[in-house]
Amino acid sequence: MPRKEHRETLTGKRAREKGFGQEPDGAPKWPVPPPDVSREEIELIDKAIEEAFEQIEPFSCGESSPTTLIVETTAHELCPVEFLGNTGDIVYFISMAHTERYGADHPLAKAAAVLKRRLRVNMAPLLKFADARTESAEEEQMLESLWQDAAPLAEASRTVAEAIEGTPELRELTAAFPELPERLKELAGIAAWAAERGAKVRLTYVI
């Protein structure tokens, strides 16, 4: 079993007060639908996502965030590369990239569609992630299955960042998250560092 050697948790403020489902213990879960959802259910999910993003406030340095991307590696040393801003931006983006295939109409979902379908960017390494919280042995096993080679993640993160910066349409679609390309570059740097050491990486999040 890979060792959990490194976590990146630097965040900024992201208020999210409605539009998300609640588990019995009150912990919010990102509303990614199952494959067999109807068009009506997709529209309800999309509306919930829109309402949730309306609650997002501008990033303010030094304030805590309920939404955090966690990057772990199997390296035997701490990674010197750090996130310099809100990692929640990446969580929102990759979550929306998942909803894109269900027809979500949010700008971030549209950005993912442009990246995947028009620019042919391989986003698969970025989309291998899950909630860090587990409540069963099955969920623990699922988390263990998320370990992946670091080099493809570095390449995907870097390519998406460069595409956003170099494509006017993508800049417009991600305008509410102007630091997203920088956070993706930092993720690429962490993954590249891990790749140089033959280590694997895992992406999870907390909300």
For every residue of 66-101, which 3-state class applies, written as one string? CCEEEEEECCCCCCCCCCCCCCHHHHHHHHHHHHHH
The CB-side HSE value for 26 (13 A sphere, CA atoms) comes to 1
Tell me the pLDDT of the chain (207 aa) as tens digits: 444 334 333 323 333 333 333 333 443 344 444 455 566 665 665 655 555 555 444 433 333 457 899 999 999 999 999 999 989 999 999 999 988 877 778 899 999 999 999 999 999 999 999 888 888 888 888 899 999 999 999 999 999 999 999 999 999 999 999 999 999 999 999 999 999 999 999 999 988
Amino acid at 206: V
DSSP per residue, 146-171: T-EEHHHHHHHHHHHHHHHHH-HHHH
Report pLDDT for 28: 38
**pTM, to two decimals:** 0.69
Query: Coil, strand, or helix at residue 30?
Result: coil
pLDDT of amino acid 176? 94
The predicted pLDDT at position 49 comes to: 57
Task: Give the count of beta carbons closer than 10 Å to the beta carbon of residue 193.
Answer: 20
Count Cβ neighbours within 10 Å for each residue of 32-71 and write b for 16 or more, e otherwise.
Answer: ebeeeeeeeebeebbeebeebbeebeebeeeeebebbbbb
What is the predicted pLDDT for the residue at 177? 94
